[in-house]
Structure 1
Amino acid sequence: MLEENVGSLTGAAVTVRPTHSRVYAWVVFGLIFGLMLSDYMSRQVLNAVFPQLKSEWNLTDAQLGLLSGVVGLMVGLLAFPVALVADRWNRTRSVVLMALFWSLATLGCGLARNYGHMLTARLLVGIGEAGYGSVGLAIILSVFPASMRATLTGAFTSAGMLGSVLGMATGGVIAARFGWRVAFVGMALFGLLLVLACAATVTEARVKRHARRHERCAKGVSQTLPNLVKSLFCTPTLVFTYVGSGLQLFTAYAIIAWLPSYLNRYHHMAPAKSALAAALMLIVSGVGMSLCGVVADRVARNSPRGKVTLAIGYCLGSCVLLMIGMRMETGAAQFAVIAAGVFLAAGTWGPAGAMATNLVPASIHATALATLTLANNLLGGAPGPYVTGLLADRIGLLGALQWIPLVSVGAALAFGCAKATYERDLRRFESTRW
Structure 2
Amino acid sequence: MSDVTTQTADTSPAKDANRNLVLALLFIVYTFNFIDRQIIGILAAPIQAELGASDSEMGLLGGLAFALFYTGLGIPIAWLADRWSRTWIMTIALTLWSGFTAICGFTTTYAQLFLARMGVGVGEAGGVAPSYSLISDYFPPKERARALAIYSFGIPIGSAAGIALGGVVASLVDWRVAFIVVGLAGVLIAPIFRTFVREPQRGRYDTKPTADAPRAGFFKALGVVTRKPSFWLLSFGASCSSIMGYGSFFWIPSFLQRSYDFSLQEAAFFYSAILLVGGVIGVWLGGMLGDKLGAKRRAMFALVPACAWILAAPCYALGLLSPSPTVAFFLFLAPTALGLVWLGPVIAAVQHLAPAHMRTTASASFLFINNLIGIGLGTYLLGLISDALVERFAEESLRYSILAGTGFYVAAAILYLIASRSLKRDWVD
Q: TM-score normalized by structure 2?
A: 0.91
Q: How does 1:34-433 map to 2 (within 5 A)?
A: 34-69=28-63, 70-204=65-199, 207-208=200-201, 212=205, 216-217=209-210, 220=213, 223-283=216-276, 284-395=278-389, 396-426=397-427, 429=428
State the SS of the aligned residue for 1:208.
Answer: coil
Distance 1:219 1:425 in 2: 24
Task: Report the counterpart of residue 29 of structure 1 in structure 2.
Answer: 23
Question: How much does 1:22 deviate?
Answer: 3.3
Question: How much does 1:90 deviate?
Answer: 1.3
Question: How much does 1:292 deviate?
Answer: 1.4
Which letter does structure 1 place at the counterpart of 2:421? A
Question: How much does 1:221 deviate?
Answer: 6.3
Task: Report the counterpart of residue 12 of structure 1 in structure 2.
Answer: none
Distance 1:281 1:423 in 2: 35
Task: Report the counterpart of residue 6 of structure 2 in structure 1.
Answer: none
Cα RMSD between the aligned structures? 2.0
Distance 1:215 1:291 in 2: 30
Question: How much does 1:214 deviate?
Answer: 5.3
Distance 2:169 2:95 in 1: 22
Which letter does structure 2 place at the counterpart of 1:293? G
Contact 2:215 / 2:357 at 8 angstroms: preserved in 1?
A: no
Distance 1:25 1:213 in 2: 17
Contact 2:203 / 2:209 at 8 angstroms: preserved in 1?
A: no
Distance 1:418 1:225 in 2: 25
State the SS of the aligned residue for 2:225.
Answer: helix
Distance 2:417 2:407 in 1: 16
Which letter does structure 1 place at the counterpart of 2:111? G
Distance change (3 Å), C-alpha of 1:361 and 1:173? same
Which letter does structure 1 place at the counterpart of 2:350? A
Structure 2 spans left out of the alignment, 5+ residues: 1-8, 390-396
Question: How much does 1:23 deviate?
Answer: 2.9
Offset from partner CA, 1:373-420 (integer Å, 9 cap, x none): 112211211100000000111111111011101011111111111111
Question: How much does 1:213 deviate?
Answer: 6.2
State the SS of the aligned residue for 1:347.
Answer: coil
Q: Percent identity?
A: 25
Question: How much does 1:133 deviate?
Answer: 1.0
State the SS of the aligned residue for 1:371.
Answer: helix
Question: How much does 1:95 deviate?
Answer: 0.2
Question: How much does 1:178 deviate?
Answer: 1.7
Which letter does structure 2 place at the counterpart of 1:60? S
Which letter does structure 1 place at the counterpart of 2:187? L
Offset from partner CA, 1:159-201 (integer Å, 9 cap, x none): 0221111011011101111211111111112101210101111
Distance 1:158 1:80 in 2: 23
Contact 1:235 / 1:425 at 8 angstroms: preserved in 2?
A: yes
Which letter does structure 2 place at the counterpart of 1:22? D
Offset from partner CA, 1:30-87 (integer Å, 9 cap, x none): 1111111111111111111111111111111111111110213322222111111111
State the SS of the aligned residue for 1:112.
Answer: coil
Contact 1:220 / 1:362 at 8 angstroms: preserved in 2?
A: no
Distance 2:291 2:375 in 1: 26
Offset from partner CA, 1:226-262 (integer Å, 9 cap, x none): 4223212101111111111111111111110011101
Distance 1:186 1:21 in 2: 39
Q: TM-score normalized by structure 1?
A: 0.90
Distance change (3 Å), C-alpha of 1:353 and 1:19? closer
State the SS of the aligned residue for 2:201.
Answer: helix
Question: How much does 1:219 deviate?
Answer: 7.4
Distance change (3 Å), C-alpha of 1:215 and 1:373? farther
Question: How much does 1:112 deviate?
Answer: 0.7
Offset from partner CA, 1:269-320 (integer Å, 9 cap, x none): 1011101111111111233112211112111122221222111101211112
Distance change (3 Å), C-alpha of 1:346 and 1:369? same
Distance 2:217 2:196 in 1: 32
Distance 2:124 2:156 in 1: 15
Structure 1 spans left out of the alignment, 5+ residues: 1-14
Task: Report the counterpart of residue 394 of structure 2 in structure 1.
Answer: none
Which letter does structure 1 place at the counterpart of 2:248? I
Contact 2:55 / 2:386 at 8 angstroms: preserved in 1?
A: yes
Contact 2:260 / 2:325 at 8 angstroms: preserved in 1?
A: no
Answer 1 or 2: which has greater helix percent: 1
